[in-house]
Every structure is written in C-alpha cells, then in structure tokens.
Structure 1
C-alpha cells in the first residue's frame, strides 16, 4: 500500500523526530500498518500507531442465520486458522444446544487442534519470523553481530547439529537454509495430521456441534501417531537450537530485552477440553474450564488473578476508542444477566452492535477498523495481549499448576515437557520457565516450547483415543435440537491467542453473534481512555540496535517486536522515511498464504 512520505520533524536542538511507517504488513483480519515516530538522537521509538485498513463485518451478516451454520461461516473468517474459529463456534453451539459430545469426539478435536498448533507455529517460527534472525537479515542490519555469531560456539551443538550461532543463522536463510527447508517438510506432515482428524485444512469438513463425523479406527490414530513421532524427534533439535539463538541476542546486544517489551498483561482463554469434565454448560464453566489441558487465566504484573472462564467472560469489554465505528449506546441490549444471574455489561460482546463509520485516517481521532477489546478487572480496562499465543498459554498454565498428564506437568513456576524415545533420539525433557520479561525474544522462545507442549499433549490424546476405540466406544456424535431462545459462548485458544465466540438466539435464528480472535486484542488501537493497544505499547520505547543509518534503515528491531506477536503471515512490507525517500521490501507470497 503506497503512502505519502512525511518530513522529518525536529523536536529539540539535540534530537530529531522522524516519522516512519510500514504499511501493509498483511495479517488475518485486514492489513496491518505500523506508524512510528523515532528519536534518532536517542535511537528509540517514541510513538507508535497500529492500523487495520480492512472492514470484515462477520458480526453483521451472521444475523438471521441458522445457528447450525455458524461454524461453517465463521471458519471463513481466516484462511490460516479457520479451524480454530470452527472449533470455538462448535463449543459455542454445544453450550447453546445443551449437547455433550462423546469422549472420543473430543479427543479427536484435541488431536486436530494440537496438529494445528504444531503446523502454524512451526511455519511461522521457522519460515517467517525466523527470517528476521537469519544470516542474510543480520548481515544487512547488524554485521557486527554476525561476526560475533560466527565466532560463538553454540552451547547445544551436540543436540541440534550446528557448531556456531552463525551456522544456525545460515540454516534459517529463506529457501536456501537447511533448517528453513526442513521445516517446510515438517509443516506438510502436521497438516496431514490435522486432515486425518478433521477431513480438511483449514476449513474442517467433519467438525459439527455434538461431535465429529470422523470414522475412528486404530489405523486412523496410528497414521497420526507415526507423523507425530517424527515431529517429536524434530522438536528435540528445535528447542535447544532456538534457546541458543535467542540467548545469543541477549549476550551480543546488551539491553535487547527492551525490544518489544511491555507490562506483563497476558490473557489466555484455555484450550483442549477434557471430556471427563467438560459438559459445555455455562453453569459449570468455571470448573470444567480449569480442567482444560491449557489453563485459562489472566496474568497482571506476573500474578495470576483468575482462572475462571466465567470471570473472564464477564470481564470482556469492547471499547471503540480510535476505531471507525459508531457507539451502540441506546441500541437494544440482548443480555442483561448471564445464566448464573450475574449482570452483563452493555459493552460485552453479547450486547455489541457493529455500526461501521468510515473516516479519513487521523491519528488524533479515528485511524483503524480494529476496535479495542479490554478486560475489566473491576477497576481498570486492561489492554491484555496474548504474546502471539504461546507465552500467555504457558505463563497461565505454569502459574496455575493444574495440568499433569505425565507428558506435561505445570509446577507453579514452570512447565515441564517430557518427550519419549524416538527413532534416533533418546527421551528428552524440556522446562519452560517463567521469564523476567514479556518481550520479543521471550514471545518467540515460548512459541518454540509450545510446539513441544502441543506434541506432548497430542501423545496423551492419542493414548486416550486409542483406549476408547479398543474399549468399543466408537461413537463420535450426539444428536441435539436447536432452542428457540438461547445465549451461549465458546472459549478456546487460536494459534495466536485468545478466541471467543458469543451468540444470542431468538426465534431459532442468530440474533447476535460476535467472534473475538487474538488480532483485535493484540492489534487494538488507543481505547476510549487513551490507552494504546499491545502492538503500539510494545513498539513505543523500543530501542533501535540496527547499525544502519537513517537512509538505509530497515527497522528490524521494530519488525521483530511486532512479529513476535505472530500477526499472521506477513507477505509484504512497504516503508517510507521522513526525508521523503520510499524504501520497499517485498516478500514473495508462499503457496500457503490461503487467507491473504
């Protein structure tokens, strides 16, 4: 998207404020643009605005639809994580219809979602965000760091096979790097794993309210398991390799912990239900939510303030702030009390009305189609982020200490991941420890560890599914009826973080439906109180370590900060600098960019 260059704006005698922008950085919902002001004398970003230039409107055209079509329609919100939407919508419908799927169906859904986590995190980590740390990129932005990397022995070389940090960086070079190409092959097998469970990727063809249409056999799970074990072997190299790479950046660039750092405000809605406990009823939601294999929770300044999905649900507020919408104050209120009798706020998704109001972009007024979801703790409207998904999931799960399957154990301060012996490698154990910071490097590190977490949980789900089949419990779907009136919600974790679907049924049709994926949480704009969204907050005050001067500046530290949140698949980056010179970098779209 071409934009007009802006001039440098001197602010004081000793500093020069330069406006720079990257627009678009394509993501799931619309086009992400990052607009910054940089103080070159201090080498620091002083202001950031995040923009989305595309209006979607799913909440509008869902009205009047048959509720049973909700998962098929909302799956199309995204061509990358559509199955996460389908799954969340099915959870939502299960609550509305009062149906509890057979255990085997839930294990199948968990296996599908685990495969999606493995697929998407792998392809983003190794083939997209990994490029920001590859030899070619580092050579262009920080040649001194590359020289040091070539001299630095990799501490875990015996586990991943790369002698120096420079060798790791070379392996990440796009299309040429050995590890880059290997990861592409791995992503294919994880996609096959998903298709075995749910028929089609990324829009499932066998996923329904009440269960699945998958024919469950020993052969089905064996085919999944053979691919899973190859992935497990792969992860035994990936975790130590990325630890070496990210630890090196802390050593090579003192102060790099400040890149992308923001206050610890993390939200996780939980995922991977345990069918022994989950009945999908709202009345029992707090209890069965805590039995999820990824624990829901909100972490504020490092403290876990709740693990209750009821509390999480009631705390959601949709603030319009600097977005292109009319306020719905004075419109119909659909839900005044939840099924437990708790009051429901007018700004809750159940009561939201989407009233678009296009306008010229103005950073002092309205500048984006992304609203500002916030979580109200009774005092403040908190701009929670997901950290791209994994860091929030691991953080809440670790603090809660509720998960213990043998393959995975949450300790209260860490998550232990145990991977069994594979074809060429012995059993291995990894421990993700709660970090000091929520910053770019730790978001990326968590993504690697969560890939191992998802693989370990998939092993547990295979054990459970096979036990059901061997016991003759092969039923995978439970019939249901659609009520004339109803209110429901579904909670899970999309790849990039929190995902909720809220539905109101009247006259047997959808009267109100609002899906909230991680993108509006992470990419939200300044809200009604002037609080910036997580992208904006993480980029503001980020120091600049790039060695290039202003004319050759690539903004790698800013891009690492934004991409650490996994803002879907970036296809192109356009940049303009304050002196009117336009620089452009175009990344060739990959075949898997289905939703761009």
Structure 2
C-alpha cells in the first residue's frame, strides 16, 4: 500500500487537506496483478474515487488463430491454474456446437459432477482460507478492536449447529494457519479436488475431457468413491452455512450502515451452468430452450428484476468496449459474423468479430490505465456494466427469479432457492433457503458463496443418482464421435467459479480463424468504458464508507479490501505476455549464410 497526500490536482477533487490518495497494488491473497487506486476522504470517512488496474496482457485470442479447433480446450484450460477446467468445459461446449455433437447422457453427468466438485473446491478454499481472513480475529483486532470486544460478548445464534459459542470464537477459528476452522477447510479442499480427479482425471487441467464427452471409464465404484467424499462435504456444509450466517449478520448489527460497503446497483449477469442432457443438444437454434433447463439458470438481473433468461438474448447483447484499456480499436477491420443462425444481426463489437490489438503505453488515469477491456451487455438502450458478484450471488439470484430448477435436492421458488441436504453420518437432514437479499454488497456476495457451496453439493447428489441409473441400465457410453467442419462459428456458455464464462469461435478451412474467451474477470474487473462508466470493482469501492478505526498513517484499508475480495478477484483470466521493450528478430541471408538480427 502507498499513500500520498494531494497527489492529484484535478478540479473535481475534494480539498486535499481532507483527502489521501492510497493504492493497494498488488491486492494480496490473489494472483498479484490487480491494483486498486483510491482517493479517500477521511473527514467524511468514505472512498470518493477508485481505479482498478491490471498489469498483464494475455494473448490467447491472438495465438489461438490457426490452431486445430480440437486443441482449443487443452490450450484455453491453461488460461488459469485455478479454474482451468471451467475454461476447458466451456471450450468443449463451444466445440460441441461447432461440430454438431452432443455427449451421451452419462458423459454429460460426469462433466456436471466434475464442475460441481470444482465449485465446491474453489469456493471453499477462497471463502475460508482467503477472504475469510478479512473477518478473522487477528484482522478485526487490527482494524476494529471495538468490534472484536463486542464479538467476544455476542453469543452465536446457531452455536448448536456449528459449535462456536460466540462470534469471537468464530473469528478465532478463521485465523490463518492457527484457526481450527481454517485448518479444517484445507482438509476439505483435498476431498473436493479428489472428487474432480475421479471424474476428469486431473485437476485443474482435465485429461479425460473432450468434445463429444469424456474418456472417463464409468463404473459403480467410480461414483461410489465420489459419493463417499461428497457426503463428508455435505456434513461439513451443515455447519458452514449457519456459521457464516451468524458471522455476516453480526457485522450488520455491530456496524450500522455496513450494508454500504461494496454496494452497487443490482446489475447481475449469469450465463447458466450444469446442462441437463435430457434437453441439451448444443445447437444454437435451440440454445434458449436448453439453456433454461440448466441446473443453474442463466439470466440478466437489473435492479432486482429478471430482464431475460435466454442464452440467445444474452449472446446477442454482449459488447466489448475498449475505453480505458491498452488496445487499439478494430473498427473497420474484417467482420467474421454478420448474422447468427437465427438471422439476428451480430454487432461489430461482439466477441465473434473482435480483433485484439494490444498497444502498451504509460498508465494514465485520465486516459488508458489497464490491460482489462470493458465487456458490457447492451439492453437495446444502455451498455450495462454487469457484474457476477464473484459468481454465486448472480447464479442464485438468476435461478431464484426464474423459478425453473426443481430436482428434489434444490428448488427455485421465484424469490428464493431451497437447498435440501440428506441425513449424513452425524447430522440429520437439513434444509437451507437462500433468499434474495436487499443489497448486492460485500457481505451478501460472501454469504451467497457459502450457500452456493451447499447448492453445488445438493445438485451433485442428483447427478450421482442419474449417472448410476445410466450404468445400471447398461448405457455406459461416455463419448460421441464427430467431424470438424471446414467452416463454422459457435459459442459456449457456462459459469466459471467467479461467474460468467463464454467462448466464441470462428472456423475457416478447418482451422481457428477467431477465438475469444470471456471469463468473469474482464466483467468484474473492467475499467471505465467508452462512455465513462466505471467497472464493477471501481463502482463497488467508490462511495464505500470507511469503518476502520485506524488513522490515515496506520490505515489498513480493510473495508476496501472486503469490497474487492468479495468478488473473488482473480486476474489471470483478465488479461500474459507484456513484452515491454522487447526485441524484434529478423532473419536475413548473407554471404556467410542465414543470420539472425535482434533489433
């Protein structure tokens, strides 16, 4: 963190005697390329300005060109060493559409089980071992000692469910490396990673996942091994949900007004996940229909209302704006797709038509300042800066409003999501209900992450049942053969751990002509766009009140960090290959032979 007084002198700034410019770069506990630059008014105790930066460029959309489309999922999985399987899965969905192929039912249930395990693994380790540190006893003692004193005197409403008598006890259990719950969560992450490997061979880059299905050898023993680990996780979640409810509810009570920390307008996007093989044929013409049959329902939620749950509408509305990012515009360059399969016009700023033209330059907060582009969703009138809230809050909100999911273990009601966890070794059957909250803020993003862990476990139970039914009926095929067409364009939609994930591909002469993956990071971490609209990190931090008790010269920025980390920020998927003052290699012929020159 750096702090300087009166660093900027623009006319719109509040008097410098009241403000301090502070930067956190890199943001800790994630890949170290996200920077948050703020101006804080300590007299009014609020953040008055925020810029989010990403210091790396990723060239996947460039070096995918000319590749064999069948390699796409192996290559794009390497975009991230955390959620690489989400990219591999989305790429496979994309290829399925291009090749006109759908996996056998058993193959799709296996993919769903792998993705559900990934949600459980990643959300658990982030919630308990990374973002949970923001609420642990050591952190609260450093930033809000008065709150810790109150926590030590406050009994936990659900102590009988999770075993921690006071809120202070919960905070102590979250202390890194020492806390009981912190250490337990690390052990749980091992179970979930093993669950994923059972389904797809390797974590985090699947080795048995292909277009048309999987190469996994499906047996009763395979699913039994998965189920034994899953049931341990189910029992774990029966403690975790009430524990986190107690913790987050306490912050609302202890710090009136804390709902404004990280709060922004409800502008949520969810692209849906976990396909139902009974309905999903991966065709574009039926995409709206089979998308609504997903076990996480796609949707765009604006001001708490469901605007659409059609994947076709979602696809048509995506726009890639450059704004304050380090790229040249591609206006006037080749247009790859003019209309979709249904005859709808495709905008030049749609991923199918994007050209990635990097232009490194000096950071300037009044002009260009980040490698992250600014994806927006166009509703016909406005380019909306959708966020995913870290993934779970958008998924649960969209699923709840649509009211389409009902598989016995989970049910969407139109205003909530009900989660039913069966009897386990030490605990009886338990039902939880995630209700649509009043705010999209830091605490509710974190709360939704806990509930979605339980949701993922519940639907995984259903997937195991369906997979075993396929095997017992003798339907053990897991892969369908296909042929790569000479020319095609396609898309894949799913939910990465942190939120929306889409892959768009154009094939010409049997090779990739254009390929653009759009994960949640460019949506959540986008910068001010061509219209001056700030990205979600920036928007959520600006106007965030400061509750920390430390003075400016010892300021930790905990409220700002809670706002940013509530999104589960992860920069690798955002933007690798910053060459700086690189060299150009030229090969020339001379009397002495072939010579390589560096310039």
Which deviates further from its counterpart, 281-290 or 22-31?
22-31
Q: Could you say which residue in structure 2 is the equivalent of 1:364?
A: 366
Q: In the alignment, which residue of structure 2 is the partner of 1:104?
A: 106
The CA distance in 1 between the partners of 2:15 and 2:511, in whole Å, is 64
Task: Specify the alignment match of 2:270 in structure 1.
Answer: 268
Q: Is this contact kept in 2: 1:102–1:478, CA < 8 A?
A: yes
Who is 2:518 aligned against?
Answer: 516
Q: State the Cα RMSD in Å.
A: 1.4
SS at match of 2:25: strand
* 1:532 partner SS: coil
Cα distance in 2 for partners of 1:331, 1:436 equals 45
1:324 maps to: 326
Preserved CA contact (<8 Å) 1:128 1:569: no
Q: State which of 148, 172, 175 in structure 2 corresponds to 1:173.
A: 175
| Post-superposition offset of 1:271 | 0.0
What SS does structure 2 have at the residue aligned with 1:25? coil
Q: 1:12 to 1:106 in 2, by over 3 A?
A: closer
Q: Deviations over 1:2-36 (max 9, x none)?
A: 97956466966696121000001268887110000
2:7 and 2:319 map into 1 onto residues whose CA distance is 38
Post-superposition Cα deviations, 1:71-113, rounded to whole Å, max 9, x if no partner, equal 0000000000000000000000000000011000000000000
Structure 2 match to 1:560: 562
Check if 1:551 corresponds to 2:553. yes
Structure 2 residue corresponding to 1:200, chosen from 174, 199, 202: 202
Q: 1:140 aligns with which of 139, 142, 154?
A: 142
State whether residues 92 and 503 of structure 1, in contact with CA within 8 Å, keep that contact through their aligned partners in structure 2.
Answer: yes
Matching residue of 1:293: 295
Counterpart Cα distance in 2 of 1:186 and 1:505: 42
Equivalent positions of 1:334-349 (< 5 A) are 334-349=336-351
Matches of 2:94 and 2:31, distance apart in 1? 21
The aligned counterpart of 2:131 is: 129
Note the C-alpha offset of 1:452.
Answer: 0.1
Q: Counterpart in 2 of 1:87?
A: 89
Q: How many residues are paired up?
A: 569
Q: Answer whether contact 1:132 1:556 (CA < 8 A) is retained.
A: yes
- Once residues 502 and 188 of structure 1 are traced to their aligned partners in structure 2, the CA distance between those partners, rounded to angstroms, is 33
Contact 1:484 1:506 in 2 (8 A): yes
* Corresponding residue for residue 489 of structure 1: 491
Aligned to 1:532: 534
Structure 2: 5+ residue runs without aligned partners? Answer: 573-599
Superposed, which structure 2 residues align to 1:404-443 within 5 Å? 404-443=406-445
Could you tell me how far apart the structure 1 residues matched to 2:15 and 2:229 are?
62
Aligned equivalents of 2:314, 2:353: Cα separation in 1: 16
1:417-445 deviations in Å (ceiling 9; x for gaps):
00000000000000000000000000000
Match of 2:52 among 47, 50, 53: 50
Task: Tell me if the contact between 1:28 and 1:78 (Cα under 8 Å) persists in the aligned partners.
Answer: no
Distance 1:472 1:540 in 2: 58
CA distances 1:294-344 after superposition (whole Å, capped 9, x unpaired): 000000000000000000000000000000000000100000000111000
Equivalent residue, structure 2, for 1:585:
none
| 1:449 counterpart residue number | 451
**Unaligned segments of structure 1, at least 5 residues:** 571-596
Matches within 5 A, 1:239-278: 239-278=241-280
Equivalent-residue separation in structure 1 for 2:531 and 2:7 (angstroms): 29
Partners of 1:489 and 1:269 in 2: CA distance: 12
Counterpart Cα distance in 1 of 2:66 and 2:533: 35
CA contact (8 A) 1:124 1:569 kept: no
Deviations, residues 225-266 of structure 1 (Å, cap 9, x unaligned): 000000000000000000000000000000000000000000
Cα distance in 2 for residues equivalent to 1:26 and 1:221: 38
Using a 3 Å threshold, how does the CA distance of structure 1 residues 248 and 509 change in structure 2: closer, same or farther?
same
CA distance in 1, matches of 2:428, 2:360: 58
Q: 1:118 touches 1:190 (CA, 8 Å); kept in 2?
A: yes
Aligned residue in 2 for 1:380: 382
Q: Tell me, what secondary structure is at the counterpart of 2:26? A: strand
Distance 2:32 2:179 in 1: 31
SS of 2:335 mapped into structure 1: coil
Tell me whether 1:150 sits opposite 2:145 in the alignment: no
Task: Report the secondary structure of 1:514's partner residue.
Answer: strand
Normalised TM-score (structure 1)? 0.94
2:190 pairs with one of 188, 191, 196: 188
Q: Distance in 1 between the 2:3 and 2:248 partners?
A: 36
CA distance in 2, matches of 1:506, 1:29: 36
1:542 match: 544
